Amino acid sequence: MKLAIISVSNKGQKLAFKLKEKLNEDSTILKVDLYHKNVKKYFQILFYEYDAIIAIMASGILIRTIAPLIESKVTDPAILNIDDNGNFVISTLSGHLGGANKLTDKIANLIDAIPVITTSTDVNKKLGIDILAKDLYLSINNTKEILFFNKSILEGEQLNFTINPNKNFDYLFNYLKNITLEIDVSFSYSNNINTDEIHVKLDNHKIILKERKIVVGIGCRRGKECSDIYKSLIKSINELNIDKSRINMFSSAEIKKNEQGILELSDKLNIPVNFVELDKLKLFESNDIQKSEFVYSKFGIYGVCEPSALITAGFDSKLIYKKTSYDGVTISIALSK
């Protein structure tokens, strides 16, 4: 997640610096940029350049500023509002698909504030269909139906999930088993459904949830044991609450194609691994990757796990977990569009 923090007062600016320091330690936050004053001018840029915006200011200023910019719950960024004293963190826009509600809880915990969330499903302890999709990294083919399904969930209606019996959907079953929010679901199976899809039906309404590709990029020192790489993987996906069965592919550079630890992990978890050619890695450009001069001096490329994950995830993919080191193993995670 790319995050901007904008403040208007000196007290708010101090809170912004404090928050940035804490967020820089979070592997799920790719970058944090700070802005001060000139709210109307900056928001014209921030609204389209960041996944989330934290506005430390009076709610009236924020609402009047973002009102002309709001377009859709599918595309609008997550927006949080914090008072100058850091007493309250308010989920203001894109609570579900944008991730504002979850970010609100995280930020409130970091600064010891009270989170304020007002979406109906959340306050009634119900699992919205859009929250399920966001948590499991699934796209929704018809977002106009979200309101109908969430209203039905609030009224206690049972949804039918149809999946392909030949696909491992442990990630879905485990999620529904462990989630503390309520949803009434029945399951049916059909070979006619694509293995990467979940069809959700109620009456004459239907939504198709489709897996976005999750690619875990792996770099490691030569000779790293499979068990060491596995431990690093688990630490990373646990931070994102991703089940092992939800990972679509591993990736690394072709210089690692004979690395037994990576190959064994691929076999152990039955997850294919793509080794990206050096030429592709040399040509790859992204402002989001962390460049390593050491790796460049040895192999002529600036990184392994981040660029290989992004290339494998496909055009317009994005990092959801920046390169993080675990005693000789580096892990990053990319998500397809």
Going by DSSP bridges, is the β-strand pair 88-93/78-82 parallel, antiparallel, or unpaired? antiparallel
User: What are the start-end ranges of the E strands in 130-229?
Assistant: 138-140, 158-163, 184-189, 197-202, 205-211, 214-220
Q: For residue 16, give the nearest of 26, 25, 6, 1 by alpha carbon.
A: 6
pLDDT in tens, 12-29: 999 999 999 999 999 999
Task: For residues 206 and 223, give the distance between their C-alpha atoms in angstroms, rounded to a whole number.
Answer: 49
pLDDT in tens, 69-99: 999 988 999 999 999 999 999 999 999 999 9
> Which stretches of the chain drop beneath a pLDDT of 50?
none
Residue 18: the pLDDT is 97
Residue 229: the pLDDT is 98
pLDDT in tens, 212-233: 999 999 999 999 999 999 999 9
Q: Where are the domains of the chain?
A: 2-118, 123-211, 214-335
Sequence-separated (6 or more) residues with CB below 8 Å from residue 208: 140, 141, 142, 197, 198, 199, 200
The CATH code for residues 2-118 is: 3.40.50.11220
Q: If you search the block for the tokens 């979200």, which residue do you land on? A: 146
Return the CATH superfamily for domain 214-335: CobE/GbiG C-terminal domain (3.30.420.180)
- The answer to whether 88 touches 56, Cβ cutoff 8 Å, is no
